[in-house]
Amino acid sequence: MASWQDKAAAKRASLATLIPSDLKLSALPGSATLNVTLFPFDSVLSHRDVEITETVNVSILLKKISEGEWTATEVVSAYYKRAIVAHQLVNCLTEIFIDQALARAKELDDYFQATGKTIGPLHLKDQIDVKGVELTMGYVGWIGNVSKENSVCAQLLLDQGAVLYVRTNVPQALMFGESVNNVFGTTSNPFNRNLTCGGSSGGEGALIAMKGSPLGVGSDLGGSIRIPSAFQGLYGLRPSYNRIPYCGSTNSMEGQEAITSVLGPMTCSVDGLKVFMQAMADAKPWLSDPVALRLPWNDAAYLLADHGGDGARLCFALMWDDGVCRPMPPYIRALRETKAALEAAGHKGTRFSPSLVKPVSHVHIGLFNADGGHDIALARGLSGEPKLGWSTVLDSEPKHLSTYEYWQLCRERTIFIKKHLDHWNDTVSTTGTGRPVDAIIAPASPSAPSQHNTPGYIYYTGFCNLCDYSAAVFPVTTVDPAIDVKLPAHEFRSVNDQTNYENCMNEPETFRNAPISLQCIGRKNEEEAVIRMTEIVSAALQA
Amino acid sequence: MASWQDKAAAKRASLATLIPSDLKLSALPGSATLNVTLFPFDSVLSHRDVEITETVNVSILLKKISEGEWTATEVVSAYYKRAIVAHQLVNCLTEIFIDQALARAKELDDYFQATGKTIGPLHLKDQIDVKGVELTMGYVGWIGNVSKENSVCAQLLLDQGAVLYVRTNVPQALMFGESVNNVFGTTSNPFNRNLTCGGSSGGEGALIAMKGSPLGVGSDLGGSIRIPSAFQGLYGLRPSYNRIPYCGSTNSMEGQEAITSVLGPMTCSVDGLKVFMQAMADAKPWLSDPVALRLPWNDAAYLLADHGGDGARLCFALMWDDGVCRPMPPYIRALRETKAALEAAGHKGTRFSPSLVKPVSHVHIGLFNADGGHDIALARGLSGEPKLGWSTVLDSEPKHLSTYEYWQLCRERTIFIKKHLDHWNDTVSTTGTGRPVDAIIAPASPSAPSQHNTPGYIYYTGFCNLCDYSAAVFPVTTVDPAIDVKLPAHEFRSVNDQTNYENCMNEPETFRNAPISLQCIGRKNEEEAVIRMTEIVSAALQA
C-alpha cells in the first residue's frame, strides 16, 4: 500500500497535469519577490483576459455580461487562466475542472438573455460538494473522494447562473487559521509570500486577491471567511446561522452545532457581498436545506430601517482591544483612520468596552475538542498522515467530553452571549441616536497575517460566531514598517497576549505590505444592514 | 432533615392555603363525575365572572376590555377565581400569585387606554421564570427556588399588557407526556378525569379547558404544547426554533440543542394563536434573547403569499399512519371528517405517505437520554425523590454517550430531516396546484388521552420537532364509544404499535368524551401560514 506521502505526491502531480502548457510559467519569481499581486499577468494572459479579471466590481462584471459585451465563456476562460497562473505563485488550488465550467458557460451563453440570471463565475472552498469533483478537505485519506451530488449551495449557485471551475486550499480538517495540509501543502499570501493567507478559506482568499475569481464561497466557524478575507484585503461576510445553505457540504466534526459553521461570500469588491447574498436569498434555500431559515432578501433592512433609515446618522462602537489580546499597531492605526473617516462623513464613533464581555476562548476550544479529536483522528487514520493544527484552536491532548460535560459548555456559551447582548443594549446611553450602537467596528485579528507555521489568536472573529452576529470584513490599510513601528512590551495579560506581541512585533519589516482589515459587526440576522453599513464605512474610508 | 415526602406535602399544603375560603368547594364532585367541564361554575362565580370566562374568543375578550366594557381587574379576577375552582377539580396549578396579578391589572386599568397594549390575561407553565415566584419544574428539590428575574418571555408579555397570575403543573423534569410529579401529583383531564391531560404542558391544557385562562404559554420538545392542547380540545401552536424567546426560562438538560425546545401559545379559540404570535413578534424578542430570530410578524405570509395567496385552492396531505404506530379509530374518523370538510370548502386532500420517512424515535430517545439521565438525577438527588417518566421517552437505564456519539445522533437527525423535506417537495407531482402540498394534516397522537400511568407514543408530534416544522393542533371531535368501536388486532409492526393498540382498544367506553385533535403542519418558519391554514381548516370543519 502506498504511503500517505506517496498518495499526496501523486495527487499534487495529478493537479499539476491539469495546468495547460500555455499557462505554465516558465520562470517563477524568486523567493525575494514577496508581493506577487504585481505579477505581470499580461505576459501570460491576453489583454482582454486581463481587462476582464481586473474588473473587480462584481456588478459591472455582470452588467458587461448581460449587455453582451463579454460572453460567459470569455469571462470563465479569463478567470480560470488567471486562477491557474495564481496557483503557480501561491499554491491556492486543489481541484481544476475547466471542461465542466466551459460546458456550463456555453449553456449560459446560449440562454442567458432569456433567463437574465447569470451572476458570474464563482469558485468554492474545498468542502462544498460539487457532483463529480473530488473533495479532500485537506486529508490525504480522502483523495479519490468524489462527490455524488451537488451540495445545496453549489446547486443553487448553478441554478442562479454561476460557473464553478476550481476548488481552493484549506487547512487539514479546516480547523485552524492557516491553509496548509499534507496533500497540497501551504498557500501563501499573495501580498507577501512569507506570510500566511489565513484560513480556513485561505486558498479562496489568495485566489481572489490574485483576481483569479471575482467572488467565492468560504465557511466560517471561528473566522474562516473573515480572517483570510482580512489577510488578503478582501470583503468577506459571515452571515448568521443557516442563512446560506450548508446542507450537502462536508465539514469537520459534523453534529457539533453549539457553534454552527456558516457559508458566506468572499469578494474583491464590496458590492459582491450584496450580489451574492441577494442571489442566494432569491434562490429560496429553505426549500431544499432543512435547517436554512426562511429569510428572503430584505430591502428595508438593507436600507437600514432599524437604524434610523438610510442616510441617518449612525453610531459605531470601536473595539480597540478585546481585553485579552492587544491588537498590534497597524490595527490601532486602522481603527483611528476609520473613526476619523466616519466622523468626517457625519457619523459617530464611540468605544465598545469589552471589559464585561471578554471573549471566552476556552468555550470555543472546549467545543472544538469535545470529541477528544476523534473525528479528525479517524480521517487522518485513513492514510496515517500526521496531525497539523494550532494549539490555540486544537488541544494537543484533547479530553473526550461526556455529553453532560458538553452540554455545560453550551450553557456557558449561552450565558456569554446573553451578557454580550445586554452589554450591546446598554450602549443606548452613549450613542445620542436613541438606539444602541448600530454596529461594532473591530479588528479582524490582533496581528497582521503572520509568518507561516505561527499560531494565531482567532477570537476577535470568534466571538461573533458564538453570538451569531452578522459580520463583514473590509480592507483599511497595509502594514508600513515606517509607521507601524515596534512597540515596547506591555504588561502581558495572557499567554495569547504575549505570543501575539512576540510573533508580531519582532520586526515590522517582516509584515511589509500585509493587508490590515476591520470588521463591521451587526446583530444576529442583520446581514442586509451589515452589508449596507460596510458600504457606508468603505465609502467613508475612500472619501 | 425533612424527607422528600414531607417537603412535597408542605408545598401542597402551602398551595392549598392560597385558595380563598369563598372559592373553596364545599363538596367536590364524586369520582363517577368524569367530565368536569360541565361543573356548575355559577354556584361559585358571579354571573359576570362566568360571562367573562366563557368568552373564549380572545379577540372579543380584548375588544371588550379596550372598549371599557370590562376592566382588566374584572377580567383577571374572573379568571383567577375560575382557575382556582378548576384546580380543585383537576389539580392543575402549582403557584397562585393573585396579589401580583391584581396590582398589574390595576396598572393596566389606569393606563391601558393610553397604551392600547393590553393583550389580556395569561398564565405560564411551571418552567417560565417570573420574578419573585417559585419554580419547581416538578422537582421536590426545587421547592423554594424563587426566580430572581423575569424570563424574556414573561417580561415581554408583561410589556405587552399581559397579566400573570398562576403557574401550572408539569411532569417531573418536563420529560414525558403526562403531568405528574412528586410535588403536586397528577393533573386530570377535565373532559374525563380517568384520563391524562397529557404533558408536559398538561396543567396548562387542563386549566384552559376549564376556562380558567383564555391563553397560556407552554413549551414543546416532542409535543408538549400540542399533546395537551389536543387532549383538551384546544388550539396550540408549536412555533419553529427560536421564534418565541426561551432565554431566562428554565429547562431540563439545558445545553441539549439537537432538538430545541420552543415556547408557544395554547388557547381555547383559534384567533388566540394569532393574537399571541403577533404580540410576541411585535415585542421584538431578538433584542433581548440572544438566540431569538429576527422575524417580525409577516402579514404576507399570513395571507398565504407562498401558497397561492389568500383564497387560493390549497392542497393538504393527510397522514393516516406514520408507518410505525397505527392511529386508533377516532383519529381515522377525524381525518375522514376533515378531508370531507376541506373538499367541501374547495380544497384538496391527498395522502402523505410516510413510508420513506418513518419517524426516528431512537434519535429522540438517544438525544433525550444522552447524558445518561445525569441532569435529571442531579435534580432528583437534591431531595431523594424517586424517578418518574415513561420508558417511551426516558430510558430506564440510559447510557451516557460520549460527545462523539452524541454528534453522530445529530448527524442522523440531519439525514432524516433532509429526507423528510425532499419527500415533501416530491409531492409537487400530486397536488395539481403547481406547489408541493401546502400543509400536512396528521393525528396529534395515535391514541386518545390515555388512562393515568400509561406510557404513550409521542412521535406523531415528535417528528415536527426534529424537522422544526411549524405545527398547530385543532380540535375535531370527541371519542364516541358507539362509533369508535374496538378494532380487531392487526399485525403489529412494533412494540409501540402493539402497546398503543392494547392501551387504547380494550374498552372504548374508557375514553368517552375525550377530545380528538389533529395537527396542521407547515414548513420550518411558517408560523403565520400555519395559523391561517389552521383557521381555514377549522372554519371548514365548522361549516
B:496-525 residues touching chain A, CB 8 A cutoff: 523-525
User: Using CA atoms, how far apart are residues A55 and B202, in angstroms rounded to an integer?
Assistant: 63
| Closest alpha carbon to B220 in B194, B248, B246 | B246
Cβ of A294 within 8 Å of Cβ of B404? The answer is: no
User: Using CA atoms, how far apart are residues A243 and B521, in angstroms rounded to an integer?
Assistant: 22
Find where cell 408530534 sits: B461
User: Using CA atoms, how far apart are residues B472 and B72, in angstroms rounded to an integer?
Assistant: 29
The beta strand positions in B4-46, using DSSP E, are: none
Q: What are phi and psi of B351, to 5 degrees?
A: -105, 135
Q: Is B399 a catalytic residue?
A: no
Find where cell 445545496 sits: A152
Residues 6+ apart with CB under 8 A from B15: B93, B94, B95, B96, B184
Instruction: Select the CATH number that applies to the domain covering A4-25+33-287 from these four: 3.40.190.10, 3.30.710.10, 3.40.50.720, 3.90.1300.10.
Output: 3.90.1300.10
- What count of Cα atoms within 13 Å lies in the side-chain half-sphere of residue B276? 33
Q: pTM of the prediction?
A: 0.96
User: Using CA atoms, how far apart are residues B92 and B180, in angstroms rounded to an integer?
Assistant: 10
pLDDT for the residue B121: 58
| Closest alpha carbon to B184 in B197, A352, B194, B390 | B197
pLDDT (tens place) for every residue of chain B, 543 residues total:
789 999 999 999 999 999 999 999 999 999 999 999 999 999 999 999 999 999 989 889 888 888 889 998 999 999 999 999 999 999 999 999 999 999 988 988 887 767 666 655 566 666 788 899 999 999 999 999 999 999 999 999 988 888 899 999 999 999 999 999 999 999 999 999 999 999 999 999 999 999 999 999 999 999 999 999 999 999 999 999 999 999 999 999 999 999 999 999 999 999 999 999 999 999 999 999 999 999 999 999 999 999 999 899 999 999 999 999 999 999 999 999 999 999 999 999 999 988 778 889 999 999 999 999 999 999 999 999 999 998 889 988 999 999 999 999 999 999 999 999 999 999 999 999 999 999 999 999 999 999 999 999 999 999 999 999 999 999 999 999 999 998 899 999 988 999 999 888 668 899 999 999 999 999 999 999 999 999 999 999 999
Cβ of A290 within 8 Å of Cβ of B254? The answer is: no
> Residue type for B243, please?
R
**Domain B307-542 homologous superfamily, CATH:** Amidase signature (AS) domain (3.90.1300.10)
Find where cell 378525569 sits: B193
| Closest alpha carbon to A176 in A207, A155, A198, A154 | A198
Chain B residues with CB-CB distance to A470 below 8 A: none
Nearest CA in chain A to B411: A255
3-state secondary structure of A188: strand
DSSP for A405-466? Answer: HHHHHHHHHHHHHHHHHHHHHHTHHHHSSSSS-SEEEEES-SSSSPBTT-----HHHHHHHH
Q: Is A117 a catalytic residue?
A: no
B:281-300 residues touching chain A, CB 8 A cutoff: 286-291, 293-295
Q: Is A383 a catalytic residue?
A: no
Cβ of A371 within 8 Å of Cβ of B418? The answer is: no
Find where cell 499597531 sits: A329
| Closest alpha carbon to B178 in B194, B201, B210 | B201
Cβ atoms of A324 and A359 within 8 Å: the answer is: yes
pLDDT for the residue A123: 61
pLDDT for the residue A310: 87
Supply B387's cell numbers. Answer: 424517578
Instruction: Select the CATH number that applies to the domain covering B4-25+44-287 from these four: 3.90.110.10, 3.40.50.620, 3.40.50.720, 3.90.1300.10.
Output: 3.90.1300.10
Q: Does A254 touch chain B (CB under 8 A)?
A: yes
Cβ atoms of A465 and A259 within 8 Å: the answer is: yes
Which of B11, B125, B211, B339 is flagged as catalytic?
B125
Question: What are the domain boundaries of chain B?
Answer: 4-25+44-287, 307-542
Within A427-488, where are the H helices?
428-431, 459-467
Length of chain A: 543
Supply B441's cell numbers. Answer: 394534516
Supply A92's cell numbers. Answer: 491556492
Q: Can you name the CATH fold of A308-542?
A: Amidase signature (AS) enzymes (3.90.1300)
Identify the H or E element spanning B192: strand B192-196
Q: What is the interface size between A and B, counted as CB pairs within 8 Å? A: 135
pLDDT for the residue A503: 85
Residues 6+ apart with CB under 8 A from A307: A314, A435, A438, A529, A533
From A13's Cα to the closest Cα of chain B, the distance in A is 35
Nearest CA in chain B to A409: B255
| Residue B26: count of CB within 10 angstroms of its CB | 6
Supply A266's cell numbers. Answer: 468572499
Chain A residues with CB-CB distance to B302 below 8 A: none
pLDDT for the residue A120: 57
Which of A224, A240, A249, A361 is flagged as catalytic?
A224
User: Using CA atoms, how far apart are residues A220 and A230, in angstroms rounded to an integer?
Assistant: 13
- Output the CA–CA distances (angstroms, integers) from residue B296 to A240, A295, B183, B243, B247, in the order listed: 17, 11, 39, 9, 18
pLDDT for the residue B335: 98
From B415's Cα to the closest Cα of chain A, the distance in A is 10
Q: Does A428 touch chain B (CB under 8 A)?
A: no
User: Using CA atoms, how far apart are residues B41 and A317, in angstroms rounded to an integer?
Assistant: 59
Cβ atoms of A149 and A248 within 8 Å: the answer is: yes
Cβ atoms of B536 and B349 within 8 Å: the answer is: no
Cβ of A370 within 8 Å of Cβ of B401? The answer is: no
From A255's Cα to the closest Cα of chain B, the distance in A is 4
Which of B200, B219, B261, B538 is flagged as catalytic?
B200
Supply B327's cell numbers. Answer: 392511529
pLDDT for the residue B119: 58
A:173-212 residues touching chain B, CB 8 A cutoff: none
| DSSP assignment letter at B402 | B
| Closest alpha carbon to A438 in A286, A318, A283 | A318
User: Using CA atoms, how far apart are residues B46 and B311, in angstroms rounded to an integer?
Assistant: 43
Indicate if B307-542 has the same CATH topology as B4-25+44-287: yes
The ranges of chain A with pLDDT < 70 are 113, 115-126, 505-506
